[in-house]
Structure 1
């Protein structure tokens, strides 16, 4: 065991504070909830912006974190990472904007794909989102049910695991796997066997 020159044990820096601990502490000190937004706000915003466009993303993200603040007392302390919980709340908030998402996907489905030589790093957020959701994929997404679209994009764009997606949506993991299998078969047929959500296909 390491000791200091005085013979005492050295101070051990504390480990990272989990989201669950911050949420629990925020029940006593509400200002601590701002840490949850600082940790995950940008990620949730990127996801919502890809689905609705940046113009509407701010409102949906605000709705998401306001709802999370109000529900924080019911958060499961056994889950250290709040991302799946936040994505579930964001998914619920997105349901209020189904028509806007459908209009966006229909518009992108009619769009001309971006030229390969364009520099994506120099584009605005709106153009990056539009460029990645190419017309063929936008058209395919409009043909999925709202629930299937939510699940697919939580896996493909939010990068949630099956367990995390199950937590976000509130269904068993087995249901997630069977639904994804069915969704992917539909998309594979629509894209001639290619995987439309891989980076090299978007």
Structure 2
């Protein structure tokens, strides 16, 4: 006797709307890795990516009754949320760094440079690429992460971002062109970033 087919995301989502926590767990099992990888590509930090993945799914649970999926997959919508939370995190981090820079350093303060230098190689390698990517506009960063990083189609990325497909195409073309220009000027940053992408973040445990 053939096994029952797996329920679609839309079916599982409807169960979650009715308060089925186990059903929502199915969505987490299906898509948490893709969300985690997206977050890592945007922030270049394993632990931050884990925290942001949790934020994405907490937000999804909180808003589950308000969301209507367009199609059977929840992934485009989840990655749209991930793009927003990583953008907000990066903005807050910039403000924090600016504030810390204004605080005078005590001469006896501990130097944690050695500990920082021992971070995962993938984080250090990804940092070079992120320096280039962050020189793109925020819109172009989002499209590049969703299409080039996460492998979404134009239509799925458009759904995640709430923009027309043509806008996704033009932004992606512009982002790739701009990134190529930046990479020619700073080739070492691109090479380090390519090594980081080769170290598949999916192999890290959430």
Q: Same fold (TM over 0.5)?
A: yes
Counterparts of 1:156 and 1:17 in 2: how far apart (Å)?
A: 28
Corresponding position: 1:49 with 2:43: no
Counterparts of 1:48 and 1:168 in 2: how far apart (Å)?
A: 15
Higher helix share: 2
Corresponding position: 1:67 with 2:59: yes
Q: How does 1:93-132 map to 2 (within 5 A)?
A: 93-99=85-91, 126-131=120-125
Corresponding position: 1:27 with 2:17: yes
Matched with 2:27 is 36
- Please state how far the C-alpha of 1:128 moved relative to its aligned partner: 2.3
Counterparts of 1:168 and 1:19 in 2: how far apart (Å)?
A: 15
Counterparts of 1:163 and 1:14 in 2: how far apart (Å)?
A: 29
Counterparts of 1:199 and 1:42 in 2: how far apart (Å)?
A: 20
Counterparts of 1:100 and 1:128 in 2: how far apart (Å)?
A: 23
**Preserved CA contact (<8 Å) 1:41 1:61:** yes
* Bigger radius of gyration: 1
Structure 1's 14 and 179: CA in aligned 2 closer, same or farther, altered over 3 A? same
**Preserved CA contact (<8 Å) 2:9 2:74:** yes
Q: TM-score, normalised by structure 1?
A: 0.71
Paired residue total: 169
**Preserved CA contact (<8 Å) 1:102 1:142:** no
> Residues 72-99 of structure 1: CA distance to partner in whole angstroms, max 9, x if unpaired?
2233355111111100111111122124
Counterparts of 2:78 and 2:196 in 1: how far apart (Å)?
A: 28
Counterparts of 1:68 and 1:141 in 2: how far apart (Å)?
A: 27
Q: Which has the higher contact order (CA 8 A, sep 6+)?
A: 2
Q: TM-score, normalised by structure 2?
A: 0.70
Counterparts of 1:148 and 1:36 in 2: how far apart (Å)?
A: 28
Residue 13 of structure 1, aligned match among 3, 11, 22:
3
3-state SS in 1 of match to 2:64: helix
Counterparts of 2:70 and 2:136 in 1: how far apart (Å)?
A: 34
> Residues 43-68 of structure 1: CA distance to partner in whole angstroms, max 9, x if unpaired?
21222123221121222112111111
Matched with 1:117 is none
